[in-house]
Amino acid sequence: MSRRRRTIAFSAIKFLVPLLIISWLVWRVEPEQWEALRDRPIDYPLLVLAILASLLAFCISFFRWWLLVRCQGISIGIIEAFRLGAIGFLLSFVSAGSVGGDLFKMVFLARRSPGKGLEAVASVIVDRGVGLLGLIWLVALAMSQAGRPSNPELTRIGDLAVVLALLGTAVLLLLVLGGRAIDRSLSRAARWRYVGGWIDRVAGPIRVFHRHPWVFLGALPLSLAVHLSLAVGAYLIARGLYGDLAPGIGDHFVIFPIANLASALPIAPAGLGVLEAAMEWLYRVVPAEPTVASGTLVALVCELVKVIMAIIGMIFYWVADGELKSSLAAAQTPVATE
């Protein structure tokens, strides 16, 4: 098979896999759940609000990444950052986890700003790390407000979230407020044999933390806003489908962040399948009173919002210029970022 045919076949498989996963998820929903849903009136205005809340979350995340890119000395407009974020989300939708979208953004920024390869990588990695830290903080806060769960697995998740949230925040504060102490440590490490040159290269992106402290400290509240908006969107979907029979918004502040954290693992395209399984389990163990609502169905509608975001990314790709498409092609093969 020629290289061109292999590329076409591989691209077709990447787009086909999410469709097969969604089809399998729809098939495994119990017939009783479909019947219960058909017998209930659907509140479409609430579903529209859920879509808007979820799209708002994506916009906040794109804005957060734009701030971090600017801190690294890379010139990029906010509209272009939103366009890149949408296309990156499209790529993550057809690859495991979010690796494909992150790699695309790294390659594009490195090509746009020669000599800023490490800074491009740093902007994406820090954005991903701060986003994950915000998600962990939301899990920890929601679990603390919900009280001590009776389920031992939930207890372990809550305890682990608190430890990781405190540890991650301590590292962030150290980098932001370390100032001269961090600079002196980096300068000494840069003189080490064998690894000194590499440390000297990464010192620049690290020093950005305490040169722009308010941006990095502000990135954490923005991350919390992202995941709060997504949790509100999931709650509105549940209310739109099941009305008063759906778990409350407090339950969703526990359910959706934990499920979203599980779906962030690079197991399936955009977390498809993982989110549904986690939501179904959490719908059974989190609410104080049993619910007839299906976590799988609610998660499936949440996935449809991701499809809408992916469609927006596809539109941006269709109207993209040659520079962007060249970076997209380069992201499909191993490349250097410098």
Note the pLDDT of residue 177: 79
Q: Is residue 85 part of a domain?
A: yes
Query: Amino acid identity, residue 236?
Result: L
| Better-scored residue on pLDDT, 247 or 326 | 247
| SS3 state at 276 | helix
Q: What is the pLDDT of residues 21-34, one digit of tens each?
A: 556 555 655 566 56
Decide if 14 is inside a domain.
no
> Highest mean pLDDT: which of 140-149, 186-195, 209-218?
209-218
Does 338 map to a domain? no
The amino acid occupying position 115 is: G
Answer whether residue 17 shows pLDDT above 70.
Answer: no
Asked whether residue 180 is assigned to any structural domain, the reply reads yes
Is 140's pLDDT higher than 80? yes
The percent of residues in the chain predicted with pLDDT above 90, rounded, is 17
Domain that holds residue 300: 43-330
- The length of the chain is 338
Centre a 10 Å sphere on the Cβ of residue 92 and count the other Cβ atoms it contains.
Answer: 25
3-state DSSP call for residue 262?
helix
Three-class DSSP category at 147 = coil
Query: By CB neighbour count within 10 A (0-12 exposed, 13-18 middle, 19+ buried), where does 216 fall?
Result: buried
Q: How many domains does the chain have?
A: 1
Please name the residue that has the structure tokens 């390869």.
117
**Torsion, Cα of 221, 223, 203, 75 (10° steps):** -100
Tell me, yes or no, whether 97 lies in a domain. Answer: yes
DSSP three-state, residue 224:
helix
| First and final C-alpha spacing in the chain | 32
Q: Find all residues with CB under 8 Å of 320, minimum gap 6, and list them.
A: 83, 87, 328
Residue-wise pLDDT for 49-74, tens only, equals 999 999 999 999 999 999 998 888 88
User: Does any domain span residue 152?
Assistant: yes
Cβ neighbors of 51 (< 8 A, separation 6 or more) are 233, 305, 308
3-class SS at 96? strand
At 336, is the pLDDT very low, low, confident or very high (cuts 50, 70, 90)? very low
- pLDDT at 146 > cutoff 50: yes
Token digits of residue 333 = 């093969």
Is there a domain that residue 288 lies in?
A: yes
Compute the average pLDDT of residues 93-100: 52
- DSSP string covering 44-68: HHHHHHHHHHHHHHHHHHHHHHHHH
Indicate whether 293 pLDDT > 90: no
Q: Is the pTM of this model over 0.75?
A: yes
Q: Has residue 103 got a pLDDT over 80?
A: no
Average the pLDDT over 213-242 and give the result. 92
Burial 241-252 (b: 16+ CB within 10 A, else e): bbeeebbbeebb
Residue 280: closest CA among 38, 36, 31, 29: 29
